[in-house]
Amino acid sequence: MQPPDALDEPLAPTGGLAFTVEEGAAGQRVDAALAALADVSRSQIKRWVDEGRVLVGGRAVRASRLLALGETIEARPLEPVALSLEAEAIPLVVLFEDEELIVLDKPAGLVVHPAPGHPKGTLVNALLHHCRGQLAGIGGVLRPGIVHRLDRGTSGVLVAAKTDLAHRGLAEQFALHSIERVYRTFVRGLPRASAGRIDRPIGRHPDDRQRMSVRTRAGRPSATRWRVLGRDRAQGISALEIQPETGRTHQIRVHLASAGLPVVGDVVYGRARGEEALLGRPALHAARLGFDHPRSGARLCFDAPLPPDLQSLEDSLALETDDDD
């Protein structure tokens, strides 16, 4: 059900889904509204409807049925088919590890968890080898140990759980938005302000189901804070520090693009130029992650430096800070 490249959003437990129809979804077809609310393709929703797994007011409905404000939609998807997960000796950069959890500096290009069509070569496969049996059943058979995600093209700090206690504790902190998350990125554009906040709901793009967008009638509340670290006025590129207040799919990239500040190298949301596309991924890095240890309660904070490709990009820029003006 979860898209393979979702950005840092806490994973919901497998099971039934329930939503209350709010103003944004009122008047929409069941299949269109539920696809946006559940973050699932419309074709998948149609299969659930055809099998009687979608209920409105406790009754099975047709996909074309229009929703009214305040109604409750329930979906009962089939249990996912377990993939045959294999442990693989993939190198990991470990920032911290104890008996409860492991903190990693994920490289760009590494998919976090297996999915149909990509069963191997993921972070989960690497963790199964590194942790040697400790992840069995932690967080579900498809994503053992995984509490949150980073896009395939995003590098940086990521935490995984090794025990049920750690998984529950970390998932609760993500749900409460008490996790400290700081990203570094480079964008095409020169913001006039030194800082700002983007508060726009995010949902599936109305015309392209593979993309997310702020142009949606059934988006989920999403907010992103940003701060300018420097501007290269000649090249029209700015370095930003990002602090997402929520964790929606592709949130940072979608929000920045909607504000006229597309991420350098982002061919999906940024319409990257030829030279930017050579970077091979969006210039986005999870630089810091802070949370309370789920057993001891101690506050932990981990930083990951810019990887070589983004460091080279930064070195190629003549960044001026507001203090330089």
Strands 59-60, 72-75: pairing is unpaired
Coil, strand or helix at 241: strand
Q: How far is residue 238's CA from residue 314's CA, in Å, rounded to a whole number?
A: 10
Q: How many CB atoms lie within 10 A of CB 193?
A: 9
Instruction: Give me 7's structure tokens.
Output: 């950005």
Catalytic pick from 5, 31, 151, 309?
Answer: 151
User: HEC states along 27-54?
Assistant: CCEHHHHHHHHHCCCHHHHHHHHHCCCE
Please provide residue 95's backbone torsions phi and psi, each rounded to the nearest 5 degrees: -90, -30
Find the angle CA(14)-CA(62)-CA(249) to the nearest 5 degrees: 40
Cross-strand bridge partners of residue 196: 226
DSSP 8-state secondary structure symbol assigned to residue 83:
P
Coil, strand or helix at 173: helix
Residue 151 falls in the annotated catalytic set:
yes
Sheet holding 59-60, edge to edge: 17-20, 72-75, 54-56, 59-60
Question: Counting beta carbons within 10 angstroms of the beta carbon of residue 47, is it exposed (0 to 12), middle (13 to 18) or buried (19 or more)?
Answer: middle
Instruction: Rounding to the nearest 10 degrees, give the CA dihedral for residues 159, 91, 112, 13.
Output: -50
What are the residue numbers of the active site? Answer: 151
